[in-house]
Structure 1
Amino acid sequence: MRKVLPFFLGIFLVVVVGAYWVLNYTGSNKDLATGSPYLITVEPGMTTADIANLLHKQKLVKTPEAFRLEAKFRGLERDLQAGRYEITAGMSNSEIVEVLSKGQVQRVRFTVPEGFTVVKTAKKIEAEGLGSAEKFIEAARNYTPYPYMETSDPNVIYKAEGFIFPSTYMFDIGMNEKDMLAMMVKEFNTQMNKENIPEEAEKQKMSIRDLVNMAALVEMEAVFKEEQPRIAGVFLRRLEIYMPIQSDTTIQYILGTQKEEITIADTRIQNPYNTYQNPGLPPGPISSPGMSAIKAVLNPEKTEYLYFVAEKDGHHRFTKTYAEHLKAIEDIHGPQ
């Protein structure tokens, strides 16, 4: 035993030193260093060997065998996760295994501003190179993962309109358009529950869909958030006395553009979303309202105002009668 033990101890040391050499020298990849980042996609079901070959093909690892040995030696060969990753040429096998095993997927920041529509959001996604505007729009047409989004109104263009929460998101590179939409709508639901909005709406006998519908109008009309409760009060009072809402923002939604001045001819457009021609709320929300606009509808400023017109600085002048309204328009914009 005394003679055999040193022999096996020697063999063990040779193996350890050999493994150390393989991992630290053949796994360094310094010869491949260019400093450039490369995007790679690890598909679900790919084995360590598949990943090693992919990295080798992209000239990110010198030898696939060394990469596989690294993952096996560290007990992580079954922990390499699917996803889209950014790998910089020259990273060692150890560093790459660390990234893949922790699922450090490459992500990109995307912001949905308050008041954005489905179409504007889709165009922003495409402009930033994250996906297809057409596919996002198509996904939003009938997407209703929560019961309060459902509607049987055939005039609703996009059922997801209004339920895309304005926020900043971190998308995985390569995420498809429907998954982007799902993340945004899920955030809407999360924030609504966080702020106890469904309970408040129920107390006021208002459906979530009608609440968001009204909030979208308030969001689009108010340049300054402090005016949102007063504008909400005007719209709600009009509904109470069966007076058309007459919001220019619904005309702009129909036209698909932010027109500086709405003409008389514009207000006569025959369209279900035209709140000059049709009483009550439009068929559906016309944009994604922020939480402040939603809260403004639940907590409106109660006044006798029925009209308002925009000042040149974006604030509004509120009036009680149509005669006062016409006078305010003349004061601000001159004789009509």
Structure 2
Amino acid sequence: MSEQRSHAPQEPQRRPRVSRNRKKPHRTKAASALLYVLFVVGLSAVLATVGWIWANDLLALNKEYTSAIVKVENDEKFSDVVDSLKDNGLIEYKFLFHLYGLFSNASDKITPGTYELNTDMDYRALVTNMSSSSSTRQTIDITIQEGYTIDQIFQLLEEKGVTTVEQLQDMSANWDYNFSWLKDLPLGDYHRLEGYLFPDTYTFYLGEDPKYVINKMLVNFESKMEDYMDQFNEESKYSLHDIVTIASMIEKETDGEDYAKISSVIYNRLENTNAETQGYLQIDATLVYLNGGKVPTEADKAIDSPYNTYLYQGLPAGPISNPGMTALYAALNPENTSYYYYVLNPETKKHEFTKTYAQHQALVEKYGVEE
């Protein structure tokens, strides 16, 4: 007999499980809440920062002062006006001004014309000052003569109704104008801008912003001196302030023709301290600056002031007037002479120059003038 085998199915063997002891990652509710808070705070900070930056532009906050002339042509597009504002540094974000214009109907308010604008004006003020209503403001042309002192300029501007002496003095003393060549002149005394208010004919609004008035004259100074600025550096024998100081004395001393000769006398005295003059400039105009514009006396020569060039050697403490371009050029380019003295001929109203004190004294006696 054949052997019978059972073919019943057998239960498959199970593989032993290996315990891996693995934990499922999970976040607690507290951690999730913290992450959400951090996200909200971070997003809020970003939005607050962006919002503050936009607000600075919209409301004209924390902007460096500058001014510009903006011309709006007939049929000019609003976008062209916005481009002009941006190009002149009056706004930072064109899209924001476009947005403001959309909600304020600014394009309907702006009219053709030439406008004086500045960075103290917020968006609303910019639009207002480019409207027909602003063109009704009265303007005045004022000529500032070469050699005017800062006090004379401020007094003239007040007399003409542009602004007040007090406001001009405050903005001169305490406003930080955005010019690199002013950075070494400390704030606090309005005379710090003496020499830099360029003499010229200006057009101002009556009741003008004093910052704009001063800035306009400083911009003019920079424009006139632009070709000469590169020569002033740490290695220069004379700084820009020195040159302006020398020019201010030339402007007050000249007879109208002898700028370069007066300049040569000043440089000869400055650079040859072993000469008879011993480094003293002895410029009468510095005494006039000290005594308030009066004819100088012997007593004035004893005034203890760094502006007194009879009492102290070298240059005075700063400019004594606001010189024009002819005097500034003479200060940069003195004539090559051996002169140390000059006397005004009372008949010709012209200066006569000499090399020695003896020659000078002879002319003083000849013309009967005070030394």
TM-score by length of 1: 0.65
Deviation for aligned residue 1:205: 3.9
CA distance in 1, matches of 2:292, 2:369: 28
Distance 1:286 1:275 in 2: 12
Matched, 1:248 2:284: yes
Give the alignment partner of residue 171 of structure 1, picking from 185, 199, 204: 204
| 1:233 matched residue in structure 2 | 264
Contact 2:161/2:207 (8 A) holds in 1: no
Which residue in the other structure is 2:158 paired with? 126
Q: In the alignment, what sits opposite 1:279?
A: 313
What is the aligned partner in structure 2 of residue 197 from structure 1? 228
Q: 1:185 aligns with which of 198, 201, 218?
A: 218
> How far apart are residue 129 of structure 1 and its match?
2.1
Give distance in 1, aligned partners of 2:176 and 2:319.
14
The residue number in structure 2 matching 1:24 is none
Counterparts of residues 40-55 of structure 1 (less than 5 Å): none
Q: Secondary structure at the match of 1:100?
A: coil
Secondary structure of the corresponding residue to residue 293 of structure 1: helix
Contact 2:172 / 2:190 at 8 angstroms: preserved in 1? no
Aligned residue runs from structure 1 range 1-336, under 5 A: 77-79=108-110, 100=132, 106-143=138-175, 145=177, 146-151=179-184, 158-193=191-226, 196-201=227-232, 205-224=237-256, 226-242=257-273, 243-257=279-293, 259-260=294-295, 262-312=296-346, 313-333=348-368
User: 1:138-186, CA deviations, whole angstroms, 9 ceiling, x for partnerless residues?
Assistant: 3222455323224467997611110000000111232122221111111
Q: Given that residues 117 and 161 in structure 1 are in contact (C-alpha distance below 8 angstroms), is that contact kept between their aligned partners in structure 2?
A: yes
Q: Which moved more, 1:98-107 or 1:243-252?
A: 98-107
Identity %: 32
Q: Which runs of 5+ in 2 are unaligned?
A: 1-105, 117-129, 274-278
What is the TM-score when the length of structure 2 is the normalising length?
0.60
Give the Cα–Cα distance (whole angstroms) in 1 for the partners of residues 340 and 141 of structure 2: 41
Pick the structure with greater CA Rg.
2
Secondary structure, in 3 states, of the residue corresponding to 1:137? helix
What are structure 1's unaligned runs of at least 5 residues? 1-74, 85-97
The RMSD of aligned alpha carbons is 3.0
| Conserved 8 A contact 2:174-2:188 | no
Shift of 1:246: 0.8
Aligned length, in residue pairs = 244
One-letter amino acid matched to 1:278: Y
